[in-house]
Amino acid sequence: MLMAKLMQELERHTNVPFQCVYLVMDPGYNEINRAKIESNAALLHVPITVFETDIFDVANASEKNPCYLCARMRRGYLYSKAKELGCNKIALGHHFNDVIETTVMGMFFGGQLQAMPPKLHSDNFEGMELIRPMYCIHEEDIIAWRRRGEKLVECVEDVDLPTDYGHFRLKMYRSEPDGLEHLALVKGDVRGGDAVLVRVHSECFTGDVLGSERCDCGHQLHRAMRMIAGEGRGCLLYMRQEGRGIGLENKLHAYHLQEGGLDTVDANVRLGFAPDLRDYGAGAQILADLGISRIRLLTNNPMKIKALEGYGIEIVQRVPIIVPPNEHDAKYLSTKKERMGHLI
């Protein structure tokens, strides 16, 4: 999407006239991912053209090298569609970090030194050239640019909230891209000063509200509230990302698959989702709006640390939040530790 916006600007200001078609190839996305692409394009005023393929179905049916087959088919479909539309260049949005990571992956997993060149002439499609306009742009520069000029959350209400753990200020934020409403539970003065104790908690209706013992979510929520209240200063973000981003209905479908023997990772994948679809961009913007930039993060999840740091939040300490397993969530916690890298 960033490359599309850059190309729109270039179209407006270049001395060499050209036209762009903003192609989106759907290789078999699930409904959530397809809707996300379409809503982001609408938000950014990018007039996308979507064309559908059966690439995922074909690749998944292959027992040998499905990833290689998927990549080859995607490239072939893309070239064919571009040729059909009368295009002579295909611009891909890989940036500097993508190039480096792909090169390193090839070295470690393929035993070969290969890279994505900034330009590549096609041997099979005469007159067609693949270009990567963002080849020299670093990921950290993209993030810094985004943080300077973008604010996608708005505080819509601020009230007092007495709880079993004392009084908090409860602030409701609305996220502009998707309309989701997130909550910030704030204790004391959190602007500036020493690093703030923070918990970024993703919604779990079954655990947080119904007291489900299939996960440790509800226990973590209340333990975090107790710890923040005990310090007299801190913040708990309650992010509307049910089921690690797949929603309540799909989480219950995943539960059904787990009852058949799958673990929480394989159940999500069987439903067509990544193991974890959560995004912490809105959470980072809420923290910034609250004046919080340096935090002590209550988490067992190293990927959450990396994600928040990627949005410019300085994490000076990881504070563990351990809940002893019970007979119902022991496999769930074991999977989080062994397959998702949680530090428990």
Query: Residue 342 contacts by C-beta under 8 Å, 6 or more apart in sequence?
Result: 300, 301, 302, 333, 336
Q: Respond yes or no: is residue 223 known to be catalytic.
A: no
Q: Respond yes or no: is residue 141 known to be catalytic.
A: no
How many Å apart are CA 8 and CA 269, to the nearest integer?
Answer: 36
Among the listed residues 132, 199, 244, 278, the single catalytic one is 278
How many Å apart are CA 159 and CA 229, to the nearest integer?
Answer: 17
Q: Can you read off the two tokens belonging to residue 159? A: 């009230």
Backbone angles phi, psi at 241, to 5 degrees: -130, 60
Q: Which residue spans within 119-204 are E strands per DSSP? A: 119-121, 129-131, 153-163, 166-175, 181-187, 196-202
Query: Residue 286 contacts by C-beta under 8 Å, 6 or more apart in sequence?
Result: 153, 173, 182, 184, 237
Pairing of strands 234-239, 181-187: antiparallel
Among the listed residues 208, 216, 276, 329, the single catalytic one is 276
List active site positions. 276, 278
